[in-house]
Chains A and B, each alone.
Chain A
């Protein structure tokens, strides 16, 4: 029977921050909260955010140098950050200077040296929220 649950907030019973879900194959269980991306963003070459979750602002710090501020901070600075970029001639993108309240992305190309390069960027964050 199809069902719809209307609710604004969900919490675990035993632990508010832990709701267990059963795997698709039924062989395992996993924390719902842990599997959710805590932030993601897609932004243009000027750090203007096209779409996002838990990102308050994007800041263009210079050529290929972007900062995205989180609405809700992470619990630590060791979270998992996956970053990518779209730009012709772009040969690399890296995450830099991880702090709990924002994350940074640097785009660059390589000739004989690494040269900063503007790019459309995207990123997702996994880990614990504060």
Chain B
């Protein structure tokens, strides 16, 4: 049977390790994605709150969320796995999408095959 529990604080059974549920909710990632940005771009297995990824240019991928954040200030943290990849950055942050930009060692936009993004903040 489905049930709903409303509680302000969680503790272990001994009464230790107290944490407010606001920290559980606020500290949880609201989105993550790991994708291949080369060729026909694709999401590797496992993603959270990710509606789609779109190839919007060389070295540029637009990630769209299923459920929007409450503000565009929800930070996007991005990283790459690829060898010789020296620049991965996030740009154009909105409540429902953000861009990931990848460049090669010369600073030229280039598609890369291992890119990750995580967003924190409040869901709408």
Contacts and interface: CB of A to CB of B under 8 A. Distances in A.
B98 interface: no
A110 B86 contact: yes
Interface in B1-26: 1-3, 5-15, 18, 24-26
Interface residues of B, number: 50
B30 A7 contact: no
Contact of B122 (A2, A5, A24, A114): A24
| Main DSSP-derived SS at the B contact region | loop
Contacts of A36: 28-29
Interface of A: 2-8, 13-14, 21, 23-25, 27-28, 30-32, 34-37, 75-76, 78-84, 91-92, 94-96, 98, 110, 114, 124, 126-128
B54 interface: no
Interface of B: 1-3, 5-15, 18, 24-26, 28-30, 32-34, 44-49, 67, 70, 77-86, 105, 114, 116-118, 122-124
Contacts of B123: 23-25, 27-28, 30
